[in-house]
Chain A
């Protein structure tokens, strides 16, 4: 495959900050990966839009390792994990600011349903803890709200957050509908409804 941008001509127009696992499903929990490595549909969409791609770190991989169980926000929400997220998010926030200063449109692409990377939907439940006996699918407690890393990153951006679009792709949702999620992502990357989009 050769790069031949079809929607945008200037790669600087939109800079997309991807949740780590969209380019590396090896960071997901066991049974959480929807592909072997790179999400090709997401990559193809971003290529078609001529987007500049940046990969964000995976806070859960470095903190809980590859053998971690799936979890909800309450299990990760400790001062140590928040400090870990902040350490990883600070360089991302600095890059986002630099891209905005250079005139780029910035889109942060998270994972809806994730306790760390969710944007509009996360997973939260006070009852989770102890014996890991919760089935992932039917009982996964998807809840409106952002994940801990996303929340940290958006907080670090301060007033600059107004200039950033954030969108979640629902790969951690039981009823994940790839066509629907890619359409949503495509609209956001294209700047639909964004008066500043060029």
Chain B
């Protein structure tokens, strides 16, 4: 038994956090060092049906975190895919209101 080590803090991040360009600050590592878990948005440029299926799965997972009182924040609230995710959550009365900057 190890006790509950979960931070209960989750940042929703764009693909650029997972796959930053060479020479760019590693914002994923910064979030990791601060104890955040992350949930990655689909990468830009996917076919809309594929992106929609991925966002639907993401919304299901986020709903349980939001309903259980986990701190959930958007790393890039103005990102169009972040907005589409929030619209999807909003259809069920949920919304990610917080933002996080590493």
Contacts and interface: CB of A to CB of B under 8 A. Distances in A.
Contacts of B32: 37-38, 40, 43
Interface string B14-58: 000011111111101111110111111001001000100110011
Contact of A26 (B9, B29, B46): B9
Interface string A54-91: 11011001100111000000000000000000011011
Interface residues of B, number: 45
Contacts, number: 135
A66 B28 contact: no
B61 A25 contact: no
A88 B59 CA distance: 12
Given A23-B38, A26-B7, A137-B1, A94 B50 contact: yes
Contacts of A55: 18, 38-40
A25 B64 contact: no
A38 B22 contact: no
Interface in B1-18: 1-10, 18
Nearest to B29: A1
Nearest to B46: A95
A72 B28 CA distance: 32
A119 to B, nearest CB: 20
Contacts of B38: 23-24, 37-38, 55
A49 interface: no
B76 interface: no
A10 B24 CA distance: 15
Contacts of A47: 26, 29
B64 A2 contact: no
A67 B65 CA distance: 10
Contacts of B79: none
Interface stretch (A27-35, A159-167, A186-194): A27-35
A180 interface: no
B7 A37 contact: yes
Nearest to A33: B5
A143 interface: no
A26 B32 CA distance: 12
Contacts of A94: 50
Given A3-B22, A52-B19, 5 more contacts: A1-B30, A23-B40, A33-B5, A57-B61, A87-B53
